[in-house]
Structure 1
Amino acid sequence: MKTNDIYNIQEEMFKKYEGDVLHILNGSFMMEEFKKNKWINEKYTYISFNEAMCWGEVYEDIFSDTFIKKRVQALNTTIDDYKKIVLNQLEPLLTNKFRTIVLWFGDDMFCQINMLTILAYLEQCNFGGNVLFSMVNEITNEVVQYPYEMTIKGCLSIYRSVICKKEMTTEKFIPVMDKAVSLYLSYRGENSEINRYITKNISKENSELIIDLLKTFPQYGLGDLQYEALIRDIKMN
């Protein structure tokens, strides 16, 4: 689909899901793209989920005080900065009632683990409205999958097994998330394809190696900060 279809899709959705619609975008970069390309529709509310849930420890009670403390430690930040960057952006989700929520996320591991967290939170708070997922290619800004309705039932259990306990679950979800879960549970392992690549190319300058990793493993969606930490861990060992 062409990029201007993102706005047209929302116009079509308005006919079916009138009013009280919240669009959740995966990260501030996607939010800037929506603004820059004039995909923001004044009929709706838009927020971004500025997290990296595939990195570090989490907690079962999503967005609780303990959850926030664990995420602050995992991301090596402060509570004030976490609130400013993550929680303040989510205020409409945390405080308002919407009848429809639309998730705009990519298909890589980073995006899908973030999306699973949002879905789990919706089940945790007993959200009773419509939940739609529109898969976007974040490199080309093309809609890969037209928005379709999803169920949130079972997402909290999957979140607790996969993200909290780092264990595979027997519960199944959409194929793109199943693939992301498999990548998530293996990418920090000593014999993962990422760690093997880093070990093989450890003599390169960090900046050069990070660029190589970003190009070689787009399916993970990891950023330079995560790769820098992985490289540092291997060098220390």
Structure 2
Amino acid sequence: MKSQFVKDIQEIIAKKYETDVLHILNGGCMLEKFEKNNWCIEKHTYTSFNEAMCWGESATDIFSDDFVEKRVKSLNSTVEQYREIVLNPLKPLFQNNFNAIVLWFGEDMFCQINMLTILAFLEQINFGGEVLFYMVIEHTEDIIPNAFEINIKGSLQRYKKIVCNSKMPEENLMPVMQEAVERYLTYRDKDSEISTFIIEHINEEENILIGNLLRNFQNYGLGDLQYRMLIMDIKYSMGD
């Protein structure tokens, strides 16, 4: 991300909200970048959402025991690992009252499904403050300088329909999330562009195939772990 853009944005936020602001960033790498470049406002709180909600099952009651159980199974993890990696960084969100929450998330499928989950949780806990979204174009490290003010009403129902039931909601979503959801609901289909690409290159060395997937499908935001599991699923379906 361009340093001056982030600093200018932070100045705007700091002028409007002196304290009681939580910034949620999509992933630990983005948080490390903020800390390394001194982009954090001293009186604000910063944390990251270290999940991959576009992969696997979920539950309607976000961050409940049932939710954690389903996510642990989907991510091939343990409850202890999930608490350390995902839940512990979110303690400020669980324990403190904030006047505003600023979301720094990318435009790709991975980030947008994560953001939808956070928005749904904010409605679940009846958050009454302002919610701002700054869109980061991660593969070019650009950032949209103007914030999107988000009304969280309806987010929980949209989350349940999209993430829990794999269906497109009737109402229109903001364009960036609409595109992400369309990808999310189809990317694991056998005739999706990702599946087709994997099948066409199934005999390549796995690391080379994953590298090509990362380069060719950046608008999905998937990582090497998700691609490795996709390749494994396709090979299994092909009888390899």
TM-score normalized with structure 2 length = 0.96
For residue 207 of structure 1, give the secondary structure of its aligned residue in structure 2. Answer: helix
State the partner residue of 1:134.
134
Q: Distance in 2 between the 1:146 and 1:193 partners?
A: 32
Identity of aligned residues (%): 57
Is contact 1:210-1:224 (8 Å) kept? yes
Residue by residue over 1:175-197, the C-alpha shift from the partner in whole angstroms, topping out at 9 and shown as x without a partner, is 10000000000001111110000
Aligned residues: 237
Residue by residue over 1:133-169, the C-alpha shift from the partner in whole angstroms, topping out at 9 and shown as x without a partner, is 0001223432124223110011111100000000111
Q: Could you tell me which runs of 5 or more consecutive residues in structure 1 were left unpaired when the two chains were aligned.
A: none
1:35-184 matches, within 5 Å, as 35-184=35-184
Code of the aligned partner of 2:29: F
Post-superposition offset of 1:76: 0.4
For residue 133 of structure 1, give the secondary structure of its aligned residue in structure 2. Answer: strand
C-alpha root-mean-square deviation of aligned residues, in Å? 1.1
Is contact 1:53-1:113 (8 Å) kept? yes
State the partner residue of 1:10.
10
Is contact 2:109-2:181 (8 Å) kept? yes
State the partner residue of 1:197.
197
Residue by residue over 1:78-134, the C-alpha shift from the partner in whole angstroms, topping out at 9 and shown as x without a partner, is 000000000000000011100000000000000000000000000011000000000
State the partner residue of 1:227.
227
Q: Distance in 2 between the 1:148 and 1:211 partners?
A: 33
Q: Could you tell me which runs of 5 or more consecutive residues in structure 2 were left unpaired when the two chains were aligned.
A: none
For residue 43 of structure 1, give the secondary structure of its aligned residue in structure 2. Answer: coil
For residue 146 of structure 1, give the secondary structure of its aligned residue in structure 2. Answer: coil
Is contact 1:30-1:138 (8 Å) kept? no
State the partner residue of 1:206.
206
Post-superposition offset of 1:8: 2.2
